[in-house]
Amino acid sequence: MKDEFPYRHRDINWLSFNDRVLQEAADRSNPLYERLKFIAIFSSNLDEHFRVRVSQLRQLKKVKKSIRKKLALRPNKIVKKILSKVHSQQEYLGDLFFGEIVPELESHGIKLLEFDEVSKKYKAEATEYYEKYLKDLVTPKSVEASKSSDILLENQQLYFIVTFDHEDKYGVVNIPSDQHDRFITLKQEDGKHIIAFLDDIIKLNIDKIFPDETVTDSYSVKLSRDAELYLDQELGEDLAEQIYNSLSQRDVGQATRFLYDEAMPKSVRKNIRKSLGLGKIDMVAGGTYHNFNDLFSFPDPTDNPELHDSGFEPIKHKHLENSDKDYFEIISEKDQIVHFPYMSFDYVQRMIDQAAVDEHVREIKISLYRVASESALTSALLKAIDNGKKVTVFVEAKARFDEENNIEWGRKFEAKGARVIYSYPKIKVHSKVMLITREENEKIKRYAYIGTGNFNAQTSKIYCDHGLFTAEKKITKDLSRVFDVLQGDLIIPRAKKLLISPFSTRRTFEHMIRNEMDLVRDGKVGKVTAKMNQLEDPDMVNLLYRASQAGVQIRLIVRGFSCLVPQVEGLSENIEITSIVDTYLEHGRLYIFNNDGDPKMFMGSADWMSRNLDRRIEVLAPIEDPEVFQELEDILAIQLKDNVKARIHTPEEDNPFVEPENGAAKIRSQRAIYDYLKNKHTN
């Protein structure tokens, strides 16, 4: 056994996941607008990576070098590796977009112009559009060269750096994509829809924006800033209020990436660095256009359905749809499982809606991690409050990028009369759970919902998740204890069935893996099968290595990054990992342990990451209902057989696709799961 096991750096391996997203953008079998969507996802992912992960590496640089050395922290080296990898990805993205996507758009009657075409062929249309719609949205500023400046570039916003015929100063002008569509249809011509970048229409009119200067050129730039909120926990102000009042920090936080047009001259870059107080490592060369996440809203003036993914018609759940019985009767009889986006999130919303008007319901408790801006779920909770139900809502105020919306909803619930509990300073509540208390035959009965995804109808349409409805006494009692912890009425929830982080999840998972190792030593089969978003926790990684060496067969689906290196002789040859990237974001977490032929399955909100095991409130439920167990096991089996959209995690991190074996049928798991569920719930 090795003394030190290999452990990948999460922030570098994450880039391998974003490579998989680019593979989908490059896949010609995907509809054209699906490919555009994946380019947008790639860009959005990368922005967040710099704002969150790279910014944390930058913070490590502030730690004394002697301490960093003892802890083997090498943030500069990691950042340089990230920048090198990202540069090659961006070059590939530019070639893909302009070399393949743009010509294919034109073949379908949609011509996306570059600047030279706008200036030579459509100057009149672009100028007219600028004067009519854009003139009042631009704000020019002048900056003295080679001097520090108090000019503020807003986080993630697009700007032009404008050069003049002298080097005493330069101009800065916003590209108002936050106030106007990024892609503008100028006209129809010869059966084609002519579309221009907002950037190029602004650029064409730069001379008018700086009338007192002779403009020589302009270069698109974007500044990303640290997304972390650095709060003073000693203040008397409550945490939610601190977070709400600190959100503006993101607009002025530390720079993490200054993305500039690589055509920008070195002298201009040097001036910009001086003006904005940036370091060399902050400067990242890019293409002519930035913020490709705007492609999420790229127009289709042809309205051609062949260019889009048709999506799924939601499957009607055989027990929860069109039944004469109410949900409480159905769930009392047996556990029920729903799957998104294959089924509608309405099933969750309807249960709350029924609870809101049911005369026997006494209380509703729910944890909200990312609240939808407006939904039937929030309306049902407000209705329950109006109807005199006792409603307790736990709102995670630290859900990154959703803090403002979450806190505002918490205030709405509070104003209506709900008991609202916000985050604790050093722990997040990531569980997706609900508990309804009902009086039946003069006794209290509890009903629970435990999911892998957020209580959000919008994300349920694009995230693949599972949700369990159960009235099983021990599980619902355990969940009641979880809410007691959230309410501050209990410190340790001694659960009999649920896995609850940070109290029992790690211990239980480690015990289950060691049990498989013991079975192998006894000459029996040891097997671990699991699906998660990320695999990062060092202790879990090392335990999986040891289990592999002991002969346990380990089969994992890890959508995102993995710090474990599979298929290493003598170490991890018994570990196989694949990743599925397809139309919908794989988000469910399932864990199955063979357990000497009596398999144990857990489903819930936790990945095998240190934060999920030790620093978050997470809930995973054992799956005990035979029908629900079989349904989830069948779904996981289909995903394990995917040979269309599954990639292999390799030591080289090169993302090869899983290939069909010896003429075997192609299995695209998301389509196959839809067919499986449709057949199961209609027969």
What six digits make up the tokens of 593? 């342990």
Sign of the CA dihedral with 208 first, then 209, 210, and 212 last: positive
> 652 — phi, psi (to 5°)?
-85, -10
The three-state secondary structure class of 254 is coil
At 529, is the secondary structure helix, strand, or coil? strand
Please give the angle made by the CA atoms of 486, 492 and 497, to the nearest 5 degrees: 95
Q: Is 45 annotated as a binding residue?
A: yes
* SS3 of the chain: helix, strand, coil, percent, to 5: 40, 25, 35
Residue 299 token pair: 């127009």
- 232-242 as b/e, with b when 16 or more CB fall inside 10 Å? eeeeeeebbeb
Rounded Cα–Cα distance for residues 21 and 48 (Å) = 15
428-429 vs 432-440, strand pairing mode? unpaired
**With the C-alpha atoms ordered 567, 573, 575, 580, is the resulting torsion angle positive or negative?**
positive
Element of type H or E holding 189: strand 183-189
Q: How many Å is the Cα radius of gyration of the chain?
A: 27
CA distance 162 to 170: 6
Count CB neighbours of 440 within 10 A.
Answer: 10
Query: Binding residue per annotation — 400?
Result: yes
- Do residues 433 and 554 make contact, with C-beta atoms less than 8 angstroms apart? no
430 a catalytic residue = yes
Angle of the 75-96 helix axis to the 10-26 helix axis, nearest 10? 0
**Which residues, in sequence order, are bridge partners of residue 469?**
336, 449
Buried b (16+ CB within 10 A) or exposed e, 8-31: bebbbbbbbbbbbbbebbbeeebb
Query: How far is residue 679's CA from residue 665's CA, in Å, rounded to a whole number?
Result: 19
User: Is 370 marked as binding a ligand?
Assistant: yes
- Residue 587, marked binder: yes
Question: Residue 40, Cα to own-chain centre: how many angstroms?
Answer: 13
Which of the residues 49, 193, 317, 430 is marked catalytic? 430
Identify whether the C-beta of residue 40 lies closer than 8 Å to the C-beta of residue 293.
Answer: yes
Residue 422 identity (one-letter amino acid)? Y
Helix (H, G, I), strand (E, B) or coil at 48: helix
Q: What is the dihedral of CA 673, 675, 677, 681, to 10 degrees?
A: 180
For residues 290-319, one letter each, b for 16 or more C-beta atoms within 10 angstroms of the residue's C-beta and e for the rest, the string is bbbbbbeebebeeeeeebeeeebebbebeb
DSSP H stretches of helix in 205-334: 206-209, 239-246, 249-252, 266-276, 327-333
Q: In terms of Cα–Cα distance, which of 103, 63, 56 is closest to 82?
A: 56
Binding-site residue set for Mg(2+): 370, 400
Binding-site residue set for ATP: 45, 463, 559, 587
Binding-site residue set: 45, 370, 400, 463, 559, 587
Active site residues: 430
